[in-house]
């Protein structure tokens, strides 16, 4: 090969053609020979870096882009491509530093602003994301992609109407990819508004035009998951997997739906198949570790236990940390389990700091809220009865909801945020009640009793008391040390306080104090449900609960594991088992880990 740019360009074109035709090995050989001869033209470095990025050789791609920046520091594309890889590795601060370094070279560059906006959006810095995308749009107002991203950010900020206005203003051809992206976001808005039928119609209409877009099947499955139509979700995923058999996100969603539907063996089988194709899939390892001991798959177990997680990207470190902790817990190696729990939770806090202050502030706001004394007189009694299950996560509430759902008149709403969303929309409490009721009707207008298992509704007890005369609040509690440990051992995605033992403990104590006050204030409206007592003596304690609800007794209430309902919580596997007290007192295996907080609960030591 002649070492001149024209010759290099010719070979790069040959490599690209091989890649386009699926000849990855041949393409790589051409690139490798050029690189081994240290022919570092900018075109070669960018082309070889993109090639490795496309085939998921991110480590090589990353090194190539770093080399390109060193050799050609004024060329902006290397910075942008490097930032994309850093985002994939969850190294968001490094991605921001890289993009800001590029911005110093070219202050007015819409592609840099666009990528800054994507990065800010990913880490939920929405104000910064909007500023960056507005800057990109100002530089290139005709760019549709920029406007689509802005709409997506606005949707994340719950500004659906503003987002919809931008989307409907776009001039796009019906068979274009811009049209596809626009309709995907419109369906997202409809899902946020709980207009599931319209969202489904939008996505199914898209499928007629874009049946080869795998993201479409993923979005449909997400829609069915949110609307709790798991059988529909499974059907659409199977269709998608038939078209895209190697696309792991579809297979992963299928495994999750199997689990939530109670098809545990099928879920395990699907996750194992994923790992046979992708042996370092941290998501499937984590899911399996919560419901399987790997007894028939020693090679996968060895892979998991031999992974050195310290040098992994943040997300993988978190998931593999929890996975190892779960396996060591199953094997009764509790010190090792505690070691990996600390690694996983400390890493989570780096990415997402604890949200405990927001929860405490919300609780105090509604505790001190002056509610119109005449509200009780003026409120209209509706025909619905709501059962609000409140407490801390992992307190036994999923079992409780399964027991209650055995009443044929009951519809379990699960962990919906209806009350919080209604309170955010208006300060008029009577309107809040109507908004909440409408949200419930969209789920089911036939049933008369609904269980709302958003546990943090304990923050809103005064509102519940004043707005819902037919409502009852069931406060679910458990041995505090078992409860705190169980929260710390669970990889909660939307409860960032759960990664700090101190914050879990502070919130536990706060909700107990708050509920004690509300029980004195609202008296017969609140029932104290003690999970440990139910686990030890199910019949006696479940009868107390059913009697308090003024329901007719049935032996069915003693067999919640037979319920066919879908379960969408971290307890979706455990709830399929008979009522038992196996986990009571488990905290004692983690005494060293819990030492800083155990003295706060002398009754349980």
Which of these, 95, 48, 54, 86, lies nearest to 67 by C-alpha position? 48
In terms of average pLDDT, the best of 171-180, 497-506, 534-543 is 497-506
**What is the sign of the dihedral through the CA atoms of 187, 192, 197 and 198?**
negative
- Tokens representing 554 are 């049935």
370 band by pLDDT with thresholds 50, 70 and 90: confident
* Distance from C-alpha of 363 to C-alpha of 353, rounded to nearest angstrom: 19
Which of these, 543, 365, 397, lies nearest to 473 by C-alpha position? 397
Which of these, 585, 563, 596, 274, lies nearest to 414 by C-alpha position? 563
Q: What is the pLDDT of residue 351?
A: 83
Phi, psi at 443, each rounded to 5°: -80, -45
Q: What is the pLDDT of residue 574?
A: 54
Per-residue pLDDT at 241 exceeds 90? yes
2 band by pLDDT with thresholds 50, 70 and 90: very low
* Mean pLDDT, rounded, for 200-204: 95
Cβ-based neighbour number of residue 590 at 10 Å: 22
386 band by pLDDT with thresholds 50, 70 and 90: very high
- In terms of pLDDT, which residue wins out, 5 or 396? 396
* Distance from C-alpha of 114 to C-alpha of 117, rounded to nearest angstrom: 5
> 96-152, pLDDT tens digit by residue?
999 999 999 999 999 999 999 999 999 889 999 999 999 999 999 999 999 999 999
Per-residue pLDDT at 92 exceeds 80? yes
Q: Poorest-confidence range of 16-25, 137-146, 184-193, 331-340?
A: 16-25
Which of these, 562, 566, 470, 591, lies nearest to 256 by C-alpha position? 566
482 band by pLDDT with thresholds 50, 70 and 90: very high
Q: What is the pLDDT of residue 503?
A: 97
Q: What is the CA radius of gyration of the chain?
A: 27
The 3-state secondary structure of 357-418, one letter per residue: HHHHHHHHHHHCCCCCCCHHHHCCCCCCEEEEEEECCCCCHHHHHHHHHCCCCEEEEECCCH
Which of these, 63, 96, 90, 93, lies nearest to 78 by C-alpha position? 63
Q: What is the pLDDT of residue 44?
A: 86
Q: What is the pLDDT of residue 187?
A: 95
Q: What is the pLDDT of residue 427?
A: 84
> 488-525, pLDDT tens digit by residue?
999 998 899 999 999 999 999 999 999 999 999 998 89
Q: What is the pLDDT of residue 4?
A: 59
Q: What is the pLDDT of residue 82?
A: 96
Per-residue pLDDT at 176 exceeds 50? yes
Per-residue pLDDT at 278 exceeds 70? yes
Q: In the chain, how long is the greatest CA-to-CA distance? A: 91
> What single DSSP character describes residue 438?
H
Q: Is 444 left (phi over 0), alpha (psi -120 to 50) or beta?
A: beta
Q: What is the pLDDT of residue 377?
A: 44
> What single DSSP character describes residue 556?
G
* Distance from C-alpha of 212 to C-alpha of 203, rounded to nearest angstrom: 13
- The crossing angle, in degrees rounded to 10, of helices 314-330 and 334-351 is 160
* Mean pLDDT, rounded, for 468-496: 93
Q: Under 8 Å CB-to-CB from 394, ≥6 apart: which residues?
A: 478, 483, 486, 487, 490, 570, 571
Which of these, 326, 324, 300, lies nearest to 310 by C-alpha position? 324
DSSP-derived 3-state class of residue 172: coil
Which of these, 274, 250, 269, lies nearest to 259 by C-alpha position? 269
- Tokens representing 416 are 């919906």
Cβ-based neighbour number of residue 524 at 10 Å: 8
**What is the share, in percent, of the chain residues with pLDDT greater than 70?**
93
Q: Are 170 and 162 in contact (CB under 8 A)?
A: no
Q: Poorest-confidence range of 170-174, 370-374, 514-518?
A: 370-374
Count of residues for the chain? Answer: 605
Per-residue pLDDT at 378 exceeds 80? no
- In terms of pLDDT, which residue wins out, 582 or 395? 395
- Tokens representing 196 are 């599931």
- In terms of pLDDT, which residue wins out, 504 or 43? 504
Q: Poorest-confidence range of 84-98, 309-323, 433-447?
A: 433-447
Which of these, 132, 140, 74, 144, lies nearest to 104 by C-alpha position? 74
Pairing of strands 449-452, 385-391: parallel
Task: Please name the residue ranges forming H helices in 444-551.
Answer: 461-467, 480-488, 501-522, 531-536, 538-548
* Distance from C-alpha of 487 to C-alpha of 101, rounded to nearest angstrom: 40
* CATH fold group of domain 357-604: Rossmann fold (3.40.50)
In terms of average pLDDT, the best of 257-271, 429-443, 547-561 is 257-271
Mean pLDDT of the chain: 89
Q: Is 121 exposed, middle or buried (0-12, 13-18, 19+ CB in 10 A)?
A: buried
Beta bridge partners of residue 472, listed in sequence order? 387
Which of these, 122, 492, 508, 482, lies nearest to 344 by C-alpha position? 492
Which of these, 187, 192, 278, lies nearest to 255 by C-alpha position? 278
373 band by pLDDT with thresholds 50, 70 and 90: low
Q: What is the pLDDT of residue 517?
A: 96
pTM equals 0.80
**What is the share, in percent, of the chain residues with pLDDT greater than 90?**
63
Per-residue pLDDT at 581 exceeds 80? no
């Amino acid at each position: 090969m002649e070492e001149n740019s024209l010759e290099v360009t010719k070979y790069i074109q040959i490599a690209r053609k091989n890649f386009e035709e699926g000849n990855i090995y041949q393409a790589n050989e051409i690139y490798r020979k050029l690189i081994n001869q240290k022919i570092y033209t900018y075109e070669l470095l960018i082309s070889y870096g993109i090639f490795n990025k496309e085939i998921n050789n991110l480590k090589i791609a990353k090194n190539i882009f770093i080399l390109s920046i060193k050799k050609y520091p004024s060329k902006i594309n290397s910075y942008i491509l490097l930032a994309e890889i850093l985002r994939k590795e969850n190294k968001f601060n490094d991605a921001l530093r890289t993009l800001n370094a590029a911005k110093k070279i070219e202050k007015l560059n819409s592609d840099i602003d666009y990528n800054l906006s994507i990065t800010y959006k990913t880490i939920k810095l929405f104000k910064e994301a909007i500023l960056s995308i507005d800057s990109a749009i100002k530089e290139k107002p005709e760019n549709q992609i920029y406007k689509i991203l802005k709409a997506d950010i606005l949707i994340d900020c719950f500004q659906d109407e503003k987002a919809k206005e931008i989307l409907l203003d776009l001039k796009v051809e019906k068979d274009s990819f811009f049209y596809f992206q626009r309709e995907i976001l419109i369906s997202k808005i409809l899902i946020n508004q709980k207009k599931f039928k319209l969202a489904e119609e939008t996505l199914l209409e898209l499928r007629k035009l874009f049946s080869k877009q795998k993201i479409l099947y993923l979005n449909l499955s997400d829609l069915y998951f949110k609307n709790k139509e798991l059988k529909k979700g499974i059907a659409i995923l199977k269709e998608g997997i038939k078209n895209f058999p190697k696309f792991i996100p579809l297979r992963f969603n299928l495994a999750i739906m199997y689990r939530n539907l109670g098809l545990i063996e099928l879920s395990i089988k699907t996750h194992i198949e994923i790992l046979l194709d992708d042996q370092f899939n941290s998501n499937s390892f984590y899911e399996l570790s919560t419901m399987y001991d790997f007894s028939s798959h020693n090679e996968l177990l060895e892979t998991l236990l031999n992974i050195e997680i310290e040098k992994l990207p943040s997300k993988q470190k978190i998931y593999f940390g929890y996975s190892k902790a779960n396996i060591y817990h199953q094997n009764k190696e509790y010190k090792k389990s505690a070691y990996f729990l600390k690694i996983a939770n400390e890493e989570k806090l780096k990415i997402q700091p604890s949200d405990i202050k927001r929860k405490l502030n919300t609780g105090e706001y509604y505790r001190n809220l002056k509610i119109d004394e005449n509200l009780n007189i003026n409120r209209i009694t509706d025909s619905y009865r709501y059962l609000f299950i409140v407490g801390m996560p992992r307190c036994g509430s999923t079992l409780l909801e399964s027991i209650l759902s055995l009443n044929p008149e009951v519809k379990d709403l699960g962990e919906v945020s209806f009350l919080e969303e209604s309170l955010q929309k208006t300060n008029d409490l009577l309107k809040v009640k109507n908004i909440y009721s409408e949200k419930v009707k969209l789920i089911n207008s036939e049933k008369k009793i609904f269980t709302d298992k958003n546990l943090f509704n304990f923050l809103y007890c005064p509102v519940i008391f004043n707005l819902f005369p037919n409502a009852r609040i069931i406060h679910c509690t458990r041995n505090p040390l078992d409860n705190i440990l169980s929260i710390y051992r669970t990889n909660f995605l939307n409860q960032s306080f759960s990664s700090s033992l101190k914050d879990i403990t502070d919130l536990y104590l706060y909700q107990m104090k708050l509920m004690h006050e509300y029980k004195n204030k609202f008296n017969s409206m609140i029932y104290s449900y003690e999970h440990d007592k139910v686990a030890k003596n199910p019949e006696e304690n479940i009868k107390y609960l059913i009697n308090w609800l003024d329901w007719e007794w049935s032996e069915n209430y003693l067999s919640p594991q037979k319920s066919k309902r879908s379960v969408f919580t971290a307890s979706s596997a455990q709830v399929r088992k008979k009522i038992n007290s196996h986990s009571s007192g488990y905290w004692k295996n983690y005494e060293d880990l819990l030492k800083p907080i155990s003295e706060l609960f002398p009754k349980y030591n």
